[in-house]
């Protein structure tokens, strides 16, 4: 039986929406999850948390009329359990079989696809530039974006194609004109929304330094060179070329208050340098990253906030709930930022995590060399981002 082709169970099964599950986890409630995906999928990407108990029993273990006692013994019968799968079909079936056996269970609506549809906004309270700055957070993959608005105008940095309609709706709700959509680089973990927003009347902006990588649509968008500035109301977004993660990696200094670093620097780590040039070119890219950090980023005032394009499970949110931190704090906490160049290169190359899932196809799509529809795009970017170097090796004691 295919994992997406299950009969409707005879028992009534309650459903929990992804955002409700997220709220329970955020509130510190003890949550028990039964993940019925295949073990390989589960090990690569799952819902975790300090108050989350996660159990993996693949759906096929529940297909027999007489489910093995060893399987049932793994499922707690003394507390509620939420069953989940990839898209919601298998989990509803499994939940039904468990309800018939007296378990207190519900199932996650739309499964991990539903979890990947959660997209939250949090105001960056520590930002002291003109206007208001919001951080978009996608908990399923750790993707971050930024919406700046002031005096009736707005700009979005690192938008996701899957949430194009969300950005336009948010701008309408705020009563602002979404003027710019800017990418920091050619992303390897998600499909960019810049071109879709440009097609909806927003001026799409990509780094000029990324064009030579093979961008096919550069003539249709605005290109941002180092030092270029974009006005949003009384605020200014300044282009800062910070190569290393990629040759075209570009940061955006938002009214001297926050540096949106893309994948160059995160609050818990620095970029991995191997996704564009591979293992052979990684050492040179790491040296380029070191120079960008030391000469373009760490020379900014210590109270300048850093906001990356991602966060990982190792990241600790700030008091306002955003994944941002002042430069001075990161220098104190991250050994990699105070090392000499060769030590830095050796360190970040020593323990590289797996590359993002489907990264080659995602890069080709973001370059305009590969065309996918919305459903294919959403599926390609499911899973962890893995765009940072190992957090364990970079953090201070």
Mean pLDDT confidence for 364-390: 89
Residue 150 CA from chain centroid, whole number: 26
How far apart (Å, rounded) are the C-alpha atoms in residues 11 and 226? 61
pLDDT class for 383, splitting at 50, 70, 90? confident
Q: What is the mean pLDDT of residues 268-284?
A: 90
Question: Residue 45 above 60 pLDDT?
Answer: yes
According to DSSP, the β-strands at 105-108 and 14-16 are parallel
pLDDT tens for each residue of 109-153: 999 999 999 999 999 999 999 999 999 999 999 999 999 999 999
Share of the chain above pLDDT 70, in %: 96
The ranges assigned to domains in the chain are 14-115, 120-394
b/e string for 288-305 if b means 16 or more Cβ within 10 A? bbbebbbebbbebeeebb
What is the model's pLDDT at position 393? 44
Rounded to whole angstroms, the Cα distance separating 236 from 97 reads: 58
Residue from 189, 191, 220 nearest 206 by CA:
220
User: What pLDDT is recorded for position 355?
Assistant: 82
Q: Is the pLDDT of residue 325 over 80?
A: yes
Instruction: Classify domain 14-115 at the CATH superfamily level.
Output: Rhodanese-like domain (3.40.250.10)
pLDDT band at 4 (very low <50, low <70, confident <90, very high): low
How far apart (Å, rounded) are the C-alpha atoms in residues 28 and 88? 25
Report whether pLDDT(233) > 80. Answer: yes
- Residue 113 phi/psi, 5-degree rounding, is -65, -40
- 64-78, 189-203, 221-235: which has the minimum mean pLDDT? 64-78
Q: Interior CA angle at 47 toward 43 and 52, to 5°? A: 110
Per-residue model confidence (pLDDT) at position 396: 44
Better pLDDT: 361 or 11: 361
Task: Return the half-sphere exposure (C-beta side, CA atoms, 13 A cut-off) of residue 366.
Answer: 30
Is the model's pLDDT at 391 over the cut of 80? no
pLDDT surpassing 80 at residue 385: no
Task: Give the distance from CA 32 to its chain's centroid.
Answer: 24
Task: Give the per-residue pLDDT at 3.
Answer: 47
* Beta carbons of 209 and 241 less than 8 angstroms apart: yes
- CATH class of the 120-394 domain in this structure: alpha beta
Considering the chain, what percentage of its residues have pLDDT values greater than 90? 85
Under the banding of pLDDT at 50, 70 and 90, the label for residue 6 is low
Query: Collapsing DSSP states into helix, strand and coil, what is residue 153?
Result: strand
């Amino acid at each position: 039986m295919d994992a997406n082709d299950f009969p409707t169970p005879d028992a009534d099964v309650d459903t929990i929406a992804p955002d409700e599950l997220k709220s329970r986890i955020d509130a510190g409630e003890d949550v028990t999850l039964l993940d019925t995906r295949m073990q390989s999928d589960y090990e690569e990407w799952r819902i975790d948390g300090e108050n989350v108990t996660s159990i993996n029993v693949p759906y096929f273990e529940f297909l027999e009329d007489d489910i093995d006692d060893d399987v049932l013994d793994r499922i707690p019968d003394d507390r509620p359990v939420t069953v989940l799968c990839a898209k919601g079909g298998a989990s509803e079936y499994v939940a039904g079989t468990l309800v018939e056996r007296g378990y207190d269970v519900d199932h996650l609506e739309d499964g991990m696809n539903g979890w990947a549809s959660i997209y939250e906004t949090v105001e960056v309270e520590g930002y002291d530039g003109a206007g208001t700055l919001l951080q978009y957070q996608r908990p399923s993959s750790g993707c971050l974006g930024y919406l700046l608005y002031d005096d009736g105008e707005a700009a979005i940095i690192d938008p996701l194609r899957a949430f194009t309609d969300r950005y336009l709706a948010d701008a309408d709700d705020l009563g602002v004109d979404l003027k710019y959509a800017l990418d920091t680089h050619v992303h390897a973990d998600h499909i960019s929304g810049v071109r879709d927003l440009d097609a909806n009347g927003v001026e799409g902006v990509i780094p000029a330094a990324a064009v030579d990588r093979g961008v096919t649509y550069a003539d249709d968008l605005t290109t941002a060179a180092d030092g270029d500035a974009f006005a949003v109301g009384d605020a200014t977004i300044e282009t800062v070329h910070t190569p290393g993660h990629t040759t075209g990696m570009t940061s955006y200094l938002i009214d001297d208050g926050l540096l949106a670093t893309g994948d160059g620097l995160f609050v818990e780590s620095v970029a991995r340098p191997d996704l564009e040039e591979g293992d052979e070119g990684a050492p040179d890219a790491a040296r380029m990253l070191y120079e960008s950090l030391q000469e373009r980023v760490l020379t900014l005032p210590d109270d300048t906030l850093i906001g990356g394009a991602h966060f990982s499970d190792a990241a600790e949110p700030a008091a306002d709930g955003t994944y941002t931190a002042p430069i001075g704090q990161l220098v104190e906490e991250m050994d990699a930022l105070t090392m000499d160049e060769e030590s830095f290169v050796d360190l970040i190359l020593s323990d590289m995590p797996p590359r993002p899932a489907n990264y080659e196809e995602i890069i080709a799509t973001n370059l305009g060399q590969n065309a996918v529809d919305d459903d294919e795009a959403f599926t390609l970017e499911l899973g962890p981002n893995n765009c940072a170097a190992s957090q364990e090796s970079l953090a201070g004691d």
